[in-house]
Amino acid sequence: MAHITLPPGLPGIRGPMAFRPETAGPLNELVDVLLQGPHTLSKGERELIATFVSARNDCRFCQTIHGAVAACHLDGDEDLVVQVKEDPERASISDKLKALLVIAGKTAESGKSVTAADVELARRHGATDLEIHDAVLIAAVFCLCNRYVDGLATWTPEDPAYYRERAPLVAENGYAASTSASPKQYDSA
Amino acid sequence: MRELAEVLLRGPNTLSSGEREMIAAFVSSRNDCQFCHNSHRAAAAHHLDGDYELVDAVKRDYETARVSSKLKALLAIAGKVQQDGRSVTTADVDRARGEGATDLEIHDTVLIAAAFSMFNRYVDGLATFTPTDPDAYDEMGRRMAREGYVRKSG
């Protein structure tokens, strides 16, 4: 049971977001820009970073839903998502993404663990400043989301079907539109 | 992100802005993020009539600081969230409730601690410029306390 009384029937972050729409608005906007906005990293790659960080933080809700959304963007390749969570260095992804995942993993430990050498490696594999910035910020944002979800002991559905059914909705419409009962309310936020 | 900080730290709330800035400074200090720690320490002090002593006492040992029992219980929750959300126990939440904390106050404490776990990593993960002059932070904190986080246009 969650630590506080949340609107019923909403798993994971959706419970506290419905409880506190004033903070859900800016949070969803941030996640939409980072994961769904125009970018030189594909949506699949960005969702893999989110999934990887959530797995490192052992947040079951976030790693499962973002893993499912990542798979949606990657032609249903759930194996690749598992590979990235378990051992990104050996996963079938670009060297650039591997280097960005190293930065994301360090950010999740502590921002201070990211070294000039980590950034240099990412740059050598073609990462731009914006891609490095966004890898750090995606990792930092998921350190927020993971703590928000687990710090309130929100409901984590056991059934994988929940995540598989919800993922295409999020992949298609984004987070703000899929989280809010009436997405319009965030338009002017 | 500025909007999130504005709602959490300065929006209408039964916790004062001083109390909420103390939670932010406390979490940033635990994460050893000098920029966030010093600026929110100053913002908290400016909300508390310049009482830097109290803010520093909270960071050193909130259990013995001159703050309410409710805030102590909320700081205990914030400290757990800073480590890992899963370490918050029912007993932590019961203690806060026993001291009069509402669900919204508990929610906002968790989210402030989680948000500063983000801000701290963002600032340090990019190795951003961190001023060393204490006066710079005092001025920053004064502005954060008076004007807030969202730049007004026009």
Residue A81 has pLDDT above 70, yes or no: yes
| Residue B154 maps to a domain | no
Q: How many domains does chain B contain in total?
A: 1
Interface check for A28 against chain B (CB to CB < 8 A): the answer is: no
**B74 contact residues in A (CB cutoff 8 A):** none
Residue A58 has pLDDT above 70, yes or no: yes
SS (H, E, C) chain A: CCCCCCCCCCCCCHHHHHHCHHHHHHHHHHHHHHHHCCCCCCHHHHHHHHHHHHHHCCCHHHHHHHHHHHHHHCCCCHHHHHHHHHCHHHCCCCHHHHHHHHHHHHHHHCHHHCCHHHHHHHHHCCCCHHHHHHHHHHHHHHHHHHHHHHHCCCCCCCCHHHHHHHHHHHHHHCHHHHHCCCHHHHCCC
**A13 contact residues in B (CB cutoff 8 A):** none
- Name the pLDDT band for A154 (thresholds 50, 70, 90): very high
- Name the pLDDT band for A180 (thresholds 50, 70, 90): low
Which pLDDT score, from 0 to 100, does residue A179 have? 74
| Residue B30 maps to a domain | yes
Q: Which residue of B has its CA nearest to A29?
A: B1
Mind listing the pLDDT tens digit of every residue in chain B (154 residues)? 999 999 999 999 999 999 999 999 999 999 999 999 999 999 999 999 999 999 999 999 999 999 999 999 999 999 999 999 999 999 999 999 999 999 999 999 999 999 999 999 999 999 999 999 999 999 999 999 999 999 765 4
Tell me which residue in B3, B86, B118 faces A150 most closely, judged by beta carbons: B86
- Name the pLDDT band for A178 (thresholds 50, 70, 90): confident
Q: Report CB contact under 8 Å: A148, B85.
A: yes
Distance CA A116, CA B126 (A): 10
| Residue B114 maps to a domain | yes
Other Cβ atoms within 10 Å of B103 Cβ, number: 18
Interface check for A58 against chain B (CB to CB < 8 A): the answer is: yes
Distance CA A26, CA B115 (A): 12
Which pLDDT score, from 0 to 100, does residue B154 have? 42
| Residue B85 maps to a domain | yes
| Residue B132 maps to a domain | yes
**A189 contact residues in B (CB cutoff 8 A):** 3
Q: Report CB contact under 8 Å: B114, A145.
A: yes
Distance CA A112, CA A137 (A): 14
Which pLDDT score, from 0 to 100, does residue B38 have? 97
Q: Report CB contact under 8 Å: B1, A30.
A: yes
CATH number, span A28-172: 1.20.1290.10
| Residue B153 maps to a domain | no
Higher-pLDDT residue of A68, B153: A68
- Domain range annotation of chain A: 28-172
Tell me which residue in A110, A116, A145 faces B124 most closely, judged by beta carbons: A110
> What's the pTM?
0.95
**B86 contact residues in A (CB cutoff 8 A):** 58, 150-151
| Residue B152 maps to a domain | no
Interface check for A108 against chain B (CB to CB < 8 A): the answer is: yes
Could you list the residue range(s) of the whole structural domain that residue B19 is in?
A: 2-147
Q: Report CB contact under 8 Å: A152, B110.
A: yes
| Residue B46 maps to a domain | yes
**A111 contact residues in B (CB cutoff 8 A):** 31, 33, 120-126
Q: Report CB contact under 8 Å: B125, A25.
A: no
Which pLDDT score, from 0 to 100, does residue B151 have? 72
**A148 contact residues in B (CB cutoff 8 A):** 85, 110-111, 114
CATH of the domain at B27: 1.20.1290.10
pLDDT, one tens digit per residue, over A89-139 is 999 999 999 999 999 999 999 999 999 999 999 999 999 999 999 999 999
A105 to chain B nearest CA, in Å? Answer: 11
Measure CA A24 to chain center.
15
Interface of B with A in 42-101 (CB under 8 A): 77, 80-82, 84-86, 88, 90, 93
Residue A185 has pLDDT above 90, yes or no: no
